[in-house]
Structure 1
Amino acid sequence: MKSLSRSAVAALLGGLALSMPALAEDLRIGFVNTDRVFREAQTAKAAQSKLEAEFSRREKEINDLGNTLKAASDKYEREAPTLSESQRQQRQKQLVDQDREFQRKRREFTEDLNARKNEELQQVLDRANRIVRQVAEQEKFDLIVQEAVYINPKYDITDKVIKALNAAK
């Protein structure tokens, strides 16, 4: 009984091994480079411009605050030898407070910018995924991969996706 089931399993595995090349010939695979979509698609570029416009004023304020802090620190370093001990301590405290405020504002700016960037990129990715599905259905792909260690360029459909994404305003 055991020998019969082993031979049946062997026959089944042999049949599968022989049919695998036929299955592979019918399988259509595509690849989309998401990084390229984020760099080259007009929607991604528009999202980047939107973010720059939205955050440019705050970025300038933070840069100005950093420059003011640096100037105050440089001035303190130059004047420190001539200041009394109480004046030195007072100026050091002011510099520490200014630095703390600067660090807080910079951290908040970075967190807000990253959150908005993630929102915008997610919208671009959602649109791109809809386009990928459309291309896959129209061209009868069985599998579309977005991340891979290596991909043969003949399977790369990124240009088609970017073109369709740019056309779909």
Structure 2
Amino acid sequence: MKRFTKAAALTLALSTGLFAANATAAQKIGVINTQAVFQQLPQAAEVETAIRSEFKDQIESVNRLEKDIAYYMEKLKRDGATMSEKEKEEAQQKVLQLRQEYTTKGKELDAKIRQRQTEERNKIAALIKGAIDEIAKEEKLDIVLTAAAVAYIDEDGDANISEKVLKKLTSAK
């Protein structure tokens, strides 16, 4: 009985090993550098331009505040010796008020811009994902990995689908 159990276990181990080898050999793997694709897409540059124009007035407002702060700081530095205590105090209060306004508006603007960038990047990421799915189906790929997850890839081989995804997305534009 012991002999039969050992033989059955050995047969099971060998057959499992053979099936596993066949299963891994049949898989076709693709690799994509999504970050490089994203950076090369014309849509990504257009998004940045669109966001800058969308928030143009608010950016200019924050920049004006920055210039006003610099002006009053310079005025205090330059004319401080000839100013009365009341004038110095008023100028310092003006600087503090402007700094507070600058900080508040700057943080709000930064949050709004980051939110819009995230929204637009998510849209582009969805386009990239769709293109990856299409190419994976066309080339009958079983797995597509990001380049960051791969230690080595033969650049001459056809496993890297980054260029194909980029072409598909730029031609679809």
TM-score scaled to structure 2, two decimals? 0.84
Change (3 A) 1:21 1:65: same
**Residues 82 and 133 of structure 1: is their aligned pair in 2 closer, same or farther, counting only changes over 3 Å?**
same
For 1:78 and 1:111, the matched residues in 2 are separated by: 36
Per-residue CA deviations over 1:42-65 (Å, capped at 9, x if unaligned) read: 222322222222223322332222
Distance 1:8 1:43 in 2: 60
Once residues 135 and 120 of structure 1 are traced to their aligned partners in structure 2, the CA distance between those partners, rounded to angstroms, is 23
Q: What amino acid sits opposite 2:149 in the alignment?
A: A
For 2:79, the aligned partner's letter is E
Which residue in the other structure is 1:91 paired with? 91
Partner of 1:158: 162
**1:108 corresponding residue in structure 2:** 108
Listed one character per residue, the Cα deviations across residues 69-119 of structure 1 (whole Å, up to 9, x for unaligned) are 112111112222222223222211111010000111111111011000000
Q: Residue by residue, what CA displacement relative to the aligned partner does 1:111-166 show, whole Å, maximum 9, x if unpaired?
A: 01100000000000111111111100110000112342534133221110010011
Structure 1 unpaired stretches of 5+: none
Moved more, 74-83 or 135-144: 74-83
Kindly, what percent of the aligned residue pairs are identical? 24
Deviations 1:10-68 (A, max 9, x none): 54333333444433321111122121122111222322222222223322332222122
Query: Is the alpha carbon distance of 1:74 and 1:2 closer, same or farther for their aligned partners in structure 2, counting shifts above 3 Å?
Result: farther
Secondary structure at the counterpart of residue 82 of structure 1: coil
Segment drifting more, 36-45 vs 100-109: 36-45
Equivalents in 1 of 2:41, 2:106: separation in Å? 30
- Conserved 8 A contact 2:27-2:142: yes
- 8 Å CA contact retained: 1:31, 1:151: no
CA drift at 1:167? 1.5
Partner Cα distance (1:91, 1:2) in 2 = 97
**Structure (1 or 2) with the greater helix fraction:** 1
Could you tell me how far apart the structure 2 residues matched to 1:55 and 1:68 are? 20
Cα gap change, 1:16 to 1:108, in 2 (>3 Å): same
Structure 2 residue runs of 5 or longer lacking an equivalent are none
Using the alignment, how far apart are the partners of 1:83 and 1:7 within structure 2? Answer: 102
Aligned length: 169
Q: What is the distance in 1 between the residues matched to 2:85 and 2:150?
A: 62
